[in-house]
Every structure is written in C-alpha cells, then in structure tokens.
C-alpha cells in the first residue's frame, strides 16, 4: 500500500511561505511526477512528505494513518537522493544492507533481499566494491537498491538523474519506469525536466512557486493545459504563444500553438523568415522570425524539408488544436 494524502499542507521558512496551503492525493501504485522550474518548491514538497522537513501547518496522511508528526524512518518511505548519498566507507553490500541492519532484519533475510535487489539492478558483480569505484549509473542503481530492500510503501526520488550524462539518463529513465511496473509501488519523482515527467508519469503535478498549477496525466496536460504556465512548460519545444490582434480573431487574449501543429505550406495565413533550422533527421525545427505575431515562432517540419536561412515561408496552424487563454491566462474551453 502507498496511498498518500496532503491536507492543506503549508511550509514557511521564517517569514517566507514557500508552500501555500496545498491539497494533493496520491493513489496506491501511482507514478507521480512533481515538475516545475527550479525554486518552485517541488523538492521541499518531497522533503515534507519524507519527513526531512516539518510542515508548518496541515496534515500528511500515509495509508490512512496520520504521519505529520512521525519521524522519517517511521513513514515507510524510501528516498533516492540527487547526490545518491551513498555511504562512502561501506561496500555496496553494506550500503544496501544498512537500512535492514537499522531495522534489525535477520541475516538470512538481509542476504535474500540483497541478492534479489542486486540481481534486479545488475549489481551482483559489484557488491564488494566501494561507491567510489563505481560509475554514476551504478551508484544510482545502488541508491535504488538501498531503497528497494526496505520494501517501502512509496519511493521518493529527488532529481535522481540530473547528475548523469544524457545517454545514461535515458537508460535509467527506462529502468526506473520498468521497476515501477514490476514493483507496482507508489513512486513520487521530482524533476525539472518535462521530458522525464512526460515519459515516466501516470500523473504529473505541475508546480509554480509552491502552487499546484495543474494535476493530470501527461496527455491531459499536453492536450488541455489549464493555463499559460502549464501550456508553456509542458511540451518540447515550447508552445508558441501569440498575443494581440491575431489572438483577438479567435476570441482570446492569448492563443497557443504547438510547433507540431503548425505546417509549412505553399500559402497560408501566417508567414515569416527562416532563422536557425535544427535538423534532427526525423524532424526539422525551424525558428521563424518576422512573423509579426510573436518574437520567434518554432515550427516542427518534416526531416527532409529543404529550406535555408533567410527563406520566406508560409505557415498554416491547425486551428482545432489551438489553445485559447483569457486575460488572466486561464484556458477558454
């Protein structure tokens, strides 16, 4: 079980309130991602759930039992830190065994769980090494192993992949998703990378300045962002946001069109001059200037498109996939 409920939780550091009253339900077995720009309070929220910070007011309920005043060790949560926080003077085996040793698990049981975790995480050959002798990805796996053997109600990940290089990050992302499918344990994952959020989450919580901007599945957030912030944050490359007369034509204060919903056509309502074009092979991302609509418009075109710097092109948006926002930045249905 791993059902976590936050009830009007707030957190202040001195005079500064970093988390205004916040309600959130996390269901058993869900993979929830907290995502937001740096400083939005997502790590603080995770630490509140973990018990590493005390809540200023409000309640945290884990599996129906109030956990607000429980020490971290009693909450049956396991955390994977950004720096991995492995114990450098202990071998991998001892690192993984440490939480069980603290909990007084029998030797045979410890051995069984270590073997299980090592096998699942491909660490069997490294059990007697020290963390200092491992690569970043291996350290990451040891940290996950240390979390798994506790058989927690939920896993907490605090930006676990940000210290890895790009290729390894993609690999570890898959491994963690795979792990979640296998264990079916609740996971809460903090990241500032919206690609990680989109690819891994069952449910994404978009945070800004401690506020929850929107909660929903990745596709919900992609299709129906509730406001301008979510619209700009979810999706890569970013959505093109257009204000002024063009938005007025569609009865909105601001309209948003994703780069993949703008087509390069012979003739079209919009036009602009091609600036930088990024050829990825499968796609080409064009940065179009002088459209008279917004500063730079990003357009996703086919990989084989043959345009050059300085060419003037015409653009046609998919009107039915256009997002409309009012003066407060909220979505117009």
Classify residue 21 by its DSSP letter: E
Is 130 one of the binding residues for other proteins (CB under 8 A)? no
Torsion angle, alpha carbons of 231, 233, 239, 242, to 10: 60
User: Which two three-digit tokens encode residue 264?
Assistant: 């390069």
Contact in structure between 297 and 288 (CB atoms under 8 Å): yes
User: What three-state secondary structure class fits 191?
Assistant: strand
- The residue range among 12-20, 78-86, 251-259, 263-271 that interacts with other proteins, by the rule CB under 8 A, is 78-86
CB of 93 to other proteins, least distance (A): 15
Is 258 one of the binding residues for other proteins (CB under 8 A)? no
Q: Kindly tell me which residue out of 2, 99, 145, 317 binds other proteins, with binding defined by CB under 8 A.
A: 99
Classify residue 332 by its DSSP letter: P
Contact in structure between 143 and 155 (CB atoms under 8 Å): no
CB of 209 to other proteins, least distance (A): 24
Contact in structure between 154 and 75 (CB atoms under 8 Å): no
CB of 104 to other proteins, least distance (A): 9
Q: Which is nearer to other proteins, 64 or 71 (CB)?
A: 71
Is 6 one of the binding residues for other proteins (CB under 8 A)? no
CB of 52 to other proteins, least distance (A): 5
Q: Which is nearer to other proteins, 114 or 212 (CB)?
A: 114
CA–CA separation, 304 and 331 (whole Å)? 35
Strands 186-191 and 31-35: parallel
Is 103 one of the binding residues for other proteins (CB under 8 A)? yes
CA–CA separation, 25 and 216 (whole Å)? 12
Is 150 one of the binding residues for other proteins (CB under 8 A)? yes
CA angle at 242 for the pair 238 and 247, rounded to the nearest 5°: 140
Helices (H), 273-317: none
Q: Kindly tell me which residue out of 4, 19, 48, 78 binds other proteins, with binding defined by CB under 8 A.
A: 78
Residues 31-70 binding other proteins (CB under 8 A) are: 50-52
CB of 191 to other proteins, least distance (A): 17
Q: Kindly tell me which residue out of 68, 82, 91, 236 binds other proteins, with binding defined by CB under 8 A.
A: 82
Is 13 one of the binding residues for other proteins (CB under 8 A)? no
Is 79 one of the binding residues for other proteins (CB under 8 A)? yes
User: What three-state secondary structure class fits 4?
Assistant: strand
> Where on the chain is the footprint of other proteins (CB under 8 A)?
50-52, 71-73, 77-79, 81-83, 85-90, 98-99, 102-103, 146, 150
């Amino acid at each position: 079980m791993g059902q976590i409920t936050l009830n009007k939780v707030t957190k202040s550091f001195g005079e500064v309130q970093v988390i205004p009253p916040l309600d959130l339900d996390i269901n058993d077995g869900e993979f929830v991602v907290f995502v937001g720009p740096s400083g939005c309070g997502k790590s603080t929220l995770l630490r509140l759930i973990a018990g590493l910070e005390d809540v200023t007011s409000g309640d945290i309920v884990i599996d129906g039992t109030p956990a607000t005043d429980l020490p971290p060790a009693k909450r049956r949560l396991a955390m994977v830190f950004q720096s991995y926080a492995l114990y450098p003077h202990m071998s991998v085996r001892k690192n993984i065994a440490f939480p069980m040793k603290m909990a007084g698990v029998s030797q045979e049981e410890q051995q069984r769980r270590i073997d299980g975790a090592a096998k699942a995480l491909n660490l069997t050959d490294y059990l007697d090494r020290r963390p200092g002798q491992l690569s970043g990805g291996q350290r990451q796996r040891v940290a996950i192993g240390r979390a798994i053997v506790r058989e927690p109600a939920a896993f907490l990940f605090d930006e676990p992949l940000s210290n890895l290089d790009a290729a390894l990050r993609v690999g570890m992302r898959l491994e963690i998703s795979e792990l979640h499918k296998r264990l079916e344990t609740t996971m809460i994952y903090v990241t500032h990378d919206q690609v990680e959020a989109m690819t891994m989450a069952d449910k994404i919580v978009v945070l800004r300045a401690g506020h929850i901007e929107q909660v929903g599945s990745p596709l919900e957030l992609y299709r129906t962002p509730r406001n301008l912030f979510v619209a700009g944050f979810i999706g890569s490359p970013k959505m093109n946001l257009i204000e002024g007369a063009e938005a007025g034509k569609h009865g909105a204060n601001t309209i948003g069109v994703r780069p993949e919903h703008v087509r390069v056509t012979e003739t079209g309502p919009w036009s602009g001059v091609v600036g930088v074009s990024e050829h990825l092979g499968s796609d080409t991302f064009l940065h179009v200037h002088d459209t008279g609509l917004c500063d730079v418009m990003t357009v996703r075109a086919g990989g084989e498109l043959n345009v050059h710097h300085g060419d003037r092109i015409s653009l046609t948006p998919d009107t039915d996939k256009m997002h409309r926002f009012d003066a407060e930045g909220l979505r117009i249905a």
